[in-house]
């Protein structure tokens, strides 16, 4: 197994956002995490990426406990998380946004302490990085938008840029937080095509989605959360028919679609 989550728990004051959750991620798979709004999906993903410290439990990456490591150290090992809403600089071009992400990735891999160590990279290194940026943008179908300001992108394109920026960190395990939320039909088709390419290039994917239609087409295995607890695990079709999962969704405003 690539990653193991064991008894992971996160409490915020009186609220248990994630409660004793255990599951594994196998190398090369595409797995999904579903659950209604507020069921703990983002909190779980954030603990896997080292962005939140668990109250209890462990995250093991290739057998080694990593839950106490800093997020940049975890990212350097290959676990990278995207955000539900893109975190881009509106006043920079698409290309420059991806270039910034490249510098962050370099900072991680080289352990650079000061920006100056990265700014003085030299022409050859800059050219290599620019090539990698162009590659990631093309993979994300943003090749035609590289010179546009990120602030002029549609929401769907902005989310794609967020994905391209995550790819600059060369993830071995990519954690995606609701990549399909807020997208239209065509944008979702585009997302599925891009994620299929990213997966074919060697990345393992763990995808959070509160709706299920999109995951059904791409994930072989999903786990379902409700009130922070894992209530089901299996192929998407089976999990969707699970009475506890139906109950969890019917009890809230959002039915799975």
Ligand X SMILES: Nc1ncnc2c1ncn2[C@@H]1O[C@H](COP(=O)(O)OP(=O)(O)O)[C@@H](O)[C@H]1O
- What residues make contact with ligand X under the rule CB under 6 A? 12, 15, 17, 35, 37-43
Please work out the total of residues on this chain that contact Mg ion, with binding judged by CB under 5 A.
2
- Could you count the other beta carbons within 10 Å of the beta carbon of residue 87? 12
Nearer to ligand X, 87 or 109 (CB): 87
Nearer to ligand X, 43 or 102 (CB): 43
Question: Site mask, Mg ion, residues 2-41, x = CB under 5 A?
Answer: ---------------------------------------x
Please give the DSSP secondary-structure letter assigned to residue 93.
B
Alpha carbon 51 to its chain centroid, in Å, reads 12
Nearer to ligand X, 46 or 102 (CB): 46
**Window 35-64: residues binding Mg ion (CB under 5 A):** 41-42
Least separation, in Å, of the C-beta of 236 and ligand X? 17
Least separation, in Å, of the C-beta of 13 and ligand X? 7
67 binds Mg ion (CB under 5 A): no
**Window 149-188: residues binding Mg ion (CB under 5 A):** none
- By the 8 A CB rule, do 109 and 78 touch? no
Q: How far is CA 34 from CA 29, 82, 84, 206, 241, in A?
A: 16, 16, 14, 11, 13
DSSP, residue by residue, 213-250? HHHHTT-SEEEEEETTEEEEEE-HHHHHH-HHHHHHHH
- Judged by beta carbon distances under 5 to 8 A according to partner kind, the member of ligand X, Mg ion, none in contact with residue 39 is ligand X
- By the 8 A CB rule, do 105 and 168 touch? yes
Nearer to ligand X, 98 or 224 (CB): 224
- Judged by beta carbon distances under 5 to 8 A according to partner kind, the member of ligand X, Mg ion, none in contact with residue 204 is none
- Residue 150 exposure: Cα atoms within 13 Å on the Cβ side: 23
- Judged by beta carbon distances under 5 to 8 A according to partner kind, the member of Mg ion, ligand X, none in contact with residue 15 is ligand X
DSSP SS3 for 91: coil
Environment class of 13 (CB within 10 Å of its CB; exposed 0-12, middle 13-18, buried 19+): exposed
Nearer to ligand X, 33 or 165 (CB): 33
Please give the DSSP secondary-structure letter assigned to residue 149.
B
Nearer to ligand X, 47 or 94 (CB): 47
Interface ranges with Mg ion (CB under 5 A): 41-42
């Amino acid at each position: 197994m690539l990653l193991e989550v064991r008894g992971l728990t996160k409490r915020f004051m009186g609220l248990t956002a994630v409660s004793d959750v255990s599951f594994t991620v196998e190398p090369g798979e595409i797995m999904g995490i579903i659950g209604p709004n507020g069921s703990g999906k983002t909190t779980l993903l954030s603990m896997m990426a080292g962005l939140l410290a668990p109250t209890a439990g462990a995250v093991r990456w290739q057998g080694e406990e990593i839950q106490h490591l800093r997020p940049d150290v975890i990212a350097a090992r290959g676990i990278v998380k995207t955000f539900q809403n893109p975190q881009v600089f509106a006043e920079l071009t698409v290309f420059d946004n991806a270039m910034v992400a490249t510098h962050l990735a370099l900072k991680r891999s080289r352990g650079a302490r000061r920006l100056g160590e990265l700014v003085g990279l030299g022409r050859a290194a800059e050219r290599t990085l620019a090539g990698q940026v162009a590659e990631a943008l093309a993979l994300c179908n943003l090749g035609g938008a590289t010179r546009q300001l990120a602030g002029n992108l549609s929401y769907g394109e902005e989310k794609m840029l967020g994905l391209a920026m995550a790819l600059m960190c060369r993830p071995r395990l990519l954690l995606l937080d609701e990549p399909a939320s807020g997208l239209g039909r065509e944008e979702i088709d585009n997302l599925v095509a891009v994620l299929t390419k990213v997966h074919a290039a060697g990345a393992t994917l763990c995808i959070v989605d509160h709706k299920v239609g999109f995951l059904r087409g791409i994930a072989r295995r999903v786990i379902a959360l409700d009130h922070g607890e894992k209530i089901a695990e299996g192929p998407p079709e089976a999990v969707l028919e699970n009475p506890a999962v139906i109950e969890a969704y019917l009890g809230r405003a959002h039915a799975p679609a």
